[in-house]
Structure 1
Amino acid sequence: MKRWLLLLLSLVPVFAIAQETLTLGIFAYRPKPVMAQKFDMLGVYLTGAIPGHSIRIEYLDHAEMNTALAEQRLDLIFTNPSHYVQLRHGNRLSGALATLQTLENGQATALLGGVIIARPDSPLHTLQDIRGQRLAIPGAGAMFLGGYQTQAFELQQVGINLPDDAKITDARSHDKVVEAVISGAADVGFIRTGVIEALQREGKLAPGALKVINPQQHQNFPFAVSTRLYPEWAFAALPSVPEEIVKRINRALLFITPDMAVAEAAGIHGFTIPGDYQMVDQLTRALRLPPYQEVDIRASDVWKRYDWLIFSALLALGIIIALAFRLWRTRLARTREAERLQTITDTIADGIYVLDADGRLTLVNPAFCEILGYPESDVLGRIGHEIFHHHDGNQLPLEQCQLFTTVRSGGAYHGEERFRCRDGRLIDVEIAARPILDTHGNPTGSSVNAFHDITGRKRTEAELEQHRHNLEALVEERTTALSIAKEAAEAANRAKSTFLANMSHELRTPMNAIMGMTGMVLRQTGDTRLREQLGKVETASKHLLHVINDILDISKIEAERMKLEQVDFLLGSILENLRSLAGHRASEKGLQLHIELPAELATLSLVGDPLRLGQILLNLTGNAIKFTRHGSVTVRARLVEIAGNAVSLCFEVADTGIGIAPEARERLFTAFEQADNSMTRKYGGTGLGLAISKRLVHLMDGEIGVDSTPDEGTTFWFTVRLRRTERSVAPTVTRDSAEHEIRHEHAAARILLAEDEPINREVSLCLLEDCGLCVDTAEDGQQAVDRARSERYALILMDMQMPVMNGVEATQAIRADSLNRHTPIIAMTANAFAEDRAHCLAAGMNDHLGKPVDPEHLFSTLLKWLRKGDNNS
């Protein structure tokens, strides 16, 4: 209300005195009634800002505005940028007083561009698709910057020149362009930015009724756009308007704010300081639009008309220049070569001589004459082998000389020879020879040879060789002994690695059958006594598997083959898994298991090895439950430090158990040691858990320790250093939830199970079919490949060691075929080393499951890859 009152008050002097009228011409890019509804208030506002004057507005198209300017009926203009550039050229306009700022969804901009529109179902997607199409534009003459010129410039950049390369029709206005495209009268249309949003705001265009071709993203620009951005409309004054009036209008325009009635009526943000209209000038020049429709002939025009003639002339000129340059370079190279050779021969201390293709000396340096004792005149023109080059002290024919034949064929030579001096002495020389090449790089048969006397050095080397022989004799015995010991150690290490790998495979394979068949019967039987007996078998099997894993872990750690994974996980998921694994054991002993985890840590996304971190916690928690008769076991986690992306955490496992004597604590973290050897008999265990935990903690850049009071309890603590990640991490899926989701979301998904061992195949088949999957089986790798070539599968489980064709070969064959090239393939193997997993992934498999197969791990892995398969399909 206050804004309207101020506006009315500003009109009081208008009606109090006689008014001088100034005419403002506004370019009507939309229907004139719509333009009047938007900008009539601007005339009222400017009238109030200029005492003694009134503003009268005329809404004109391009032709009408040009006529009005020619008849000198306009004092002010408000038009699009390209029209302003054209009018400025022929009407001596002032520079722009201000540039329009539009408003969309509360965001202001002083820029505009062009939009290329089509129906949503149109097959047109790129700029190149527009060639030859029916094109609607908002007015004849191509005078709209946002409605024609910006789009034409973009098309020109990809080789499409308008109007020649499209069927253009004049729709008369931007609104009519939209109607023509929607009705099918045009395949594609040009409109300026903001029209789509304005029509939607006015209720004349439904969202999604049009699609934008070549959409662009410009920072802080609120409209759909297909082109570069240019300054918005310009407000300018003709030279006839007094300077004081121009200043008042300028101030009034810049004073407009979005909450003023004039801005609300026009749907704009206001006006700002003039933009850079030079880029609009460059666009009109490129498109040869007024005032640049008649320009000087450009180089591109000359090239387009006379390209073949220019090309021929340039080619001929290039050939002449190349030949001249080649001649000059050859002469220069010869001059430099002569100067270089002369310098070498005069200054170098080594003997230098040049041989021609027949082995005759054509050049020698002073050092040559000094070393061998020959005057230059006695050797030039003579064959070198006849004078001084005697390989073994006797004259050697040219064709048998390795040096001569090597350089003659274009090779370089470096070696030791014997030369005969003029006084008959034989000297040892070290000689290097290189062939002389012609301008094409081919050997001419001539060579440059350099040598120096090494007779003294050879004598010294002979003496050193004798001393070396004596020294080698002294150390030979010890070296032999060390070599034998080293070979024995390496053989033992290889035997150990082979034994562990074989033991892992041979133990895990029957364990998979035992645990799998036991679990299968447990899932199917309701007999209470049988379930109890099978439960004991399952517990004993898990204990044996735990022992096997501990032995393999400590072996890998000692061999420095233990490597930690770096994957995303939630700390809360680790402790929830610990609760599910250890909670039942605690309840069986009547103990309370407490897990204290701050809320901010429960959802903390980390990068590290969640399996090994969980293994440490499970080892410590299992020991606490084992050695606690009554009371509770408490697991705590707390934040120590955050430094950038690095996170330091501390974990504590406290119990109310039997405690540990001070003298026994030093042995706790040693392999195969316990606080008291009698505990092995009473409580069981291998004594490896704490040793493995300590090594794993050190791999995580942490420390581990223990505080204990006998008969009161023990607290094990450890720290780890992990990395924080901003990526979203999904909570760990439990077996029940994974199995439930597979049964309900992926029922009837077809799976291929490749397993040669019948019992393992039966166990896996039972687990897969129980959760609703359709399973095809293969007994060897070749069968798996054959089935994969005839059936598309959601997922493939692949055993590694199979007859006929192993898992790696089968995977590579499947990946080479198009049907299941991208199907997830998961390895199932009893090999437990990290390099086995790496070997599977390198062969093209996506994941790895170790045997014995844990149903929980199996179901969570299946769900993970079935989900990914859905996302990729």
Structure 2
Amino acid sequence: LRQILINLAGNALKFTDQGEVLVDVSVQAHRGSQVTLQFSVRDTGIGIPAEAQERIFAPFTQVDASTTRNESGSGLGLAIVRELVAKMEGSIGLESKTGQGSLFYVSIPFEVLPETSLPQQNSELADLAVLIVDDNRTNQVILEETLTNWSMRPDVVGSAKAALKRIQEADQAGRPYSIVIVDALMPEMDGFMLVEELNQRKKNLVQTTTVLMLSSADRQTFKQRCENLPVSAYLEKPVSESELMDTLMTALHGSMLDRKSYEQVQPISQGLKILIAEDTPANQKVIRAILEKRGHSVQIANNGREAVDYVKQSEFDVVLMDVQMPTMDGLQATQMIRQLADSEQAEIPIVAMTAHARREDRRKCLASGMDAYIAKPIDAGKLIQLIESAQHRSGERPSTETWEDVPMVATTKQINTDSAKARMGGNEELVIDLARFFLDDAPKLSRDIEQGIADGQAEAVERAAHSLKGLAANFDAETLATQCLALEEHGRNDDLKKAKGRLRDLHKTVQAVCEELKTYIATEG
């Protein structure tokens, strides 16, 4: 399926000089345990004459001689697609007019999984009113569907003038928009002019409304124009769901980063040298403030490419890497760092920052070579704990005294017995039983992981880490669960060297959780 879509999309891009290429999927039929999905690739390219459509799927076929001169290719792409579709018991067709573009559609049957685990919806975005301002119908549809899937309430207009009217009506009705997503490049009145006008009309715009600016132009071109406007973030098209979610969470909750948790940060005497790869100025400022207050030295990289260059040029103890960045994202940057010839540089601990807590997003982070992750909005205590526990494995902690005796924040509890009790329907006895199960099993599983590493048994490491992760989840022991998730991934990838580097922190965290659970049992049991 991947090859089918790559060939169709690649073919569309090759013959489309202007306009767009849209890849879509929909349910065509659903009968019992089988579902037929229709994948379509639509472009606004040169189109295919009617007389050429019958032979377009034959090997070495081009539309005409002029096309061959202008566009390179083997001529095998669509023939391969037809063969792959046939092997998958599907069908393929096309609609096209010369000069108006083409639509290729593929229908393929699939077996329905008996159980499907859907990602949890982000409750913080639910019911937020959003206005989408874009003159491109395709962009409107994609954004509207995405936001609706997140339980948000999107409205769509096609011009800046219509947006001004809709915003005024919403304000007068007492239902103002929480978020306005604006296309930068629109006819008559562009996105920048719209935001300027809104800023004049609504003096408290920056306090009441989150404004996101989208553009297909070069980031630097419109970044400067945005800096003097109340724009929370700016994104380059095409925008992925992951990137949009990350930006929304950062824009909506960035101000939460530097308040309560920041005030609890206490300094240490010997800090680390930390590289922060983050493209959002507000986040840069807040994270720098947290870490510098703790006593660490900070260097900022504005994208993944800069982060790789900094790691090559200087020595750092830890890298804090945002996943979604322009030029080069955090996953790509991490992969490049892990491939560096200098082993010290290649093995530097990397902590991911992401707005997502979904399993697949965590897996992508760890698969790219990241050591841990922290979800946005960022809590200062968790950030410090991750940074300081993830520092370079060949180095030492700041000092035994500062690490053991000076509290990182006012509280560093490993577990949450209240949430465990809530899950058990308020039954304290069940929670105490769970705690005793943990005390019996967790140390053994921790030893099983260590033994599996020593014996070179990656599968045993994966199994034990998975089981320990489940025990940790019962008490929201996030630090332990994160460590187990990483070990589980290392076991799956047969990377026992990385797994071994995590053992000391794992044993220490298991011990800390056990101590808290013993105290809980003594108090409540």
TM-score in terms of structure 1 length: 0.18
Larger Rg: 1
**TM-score, scaled relative to structure 2:** 0.30
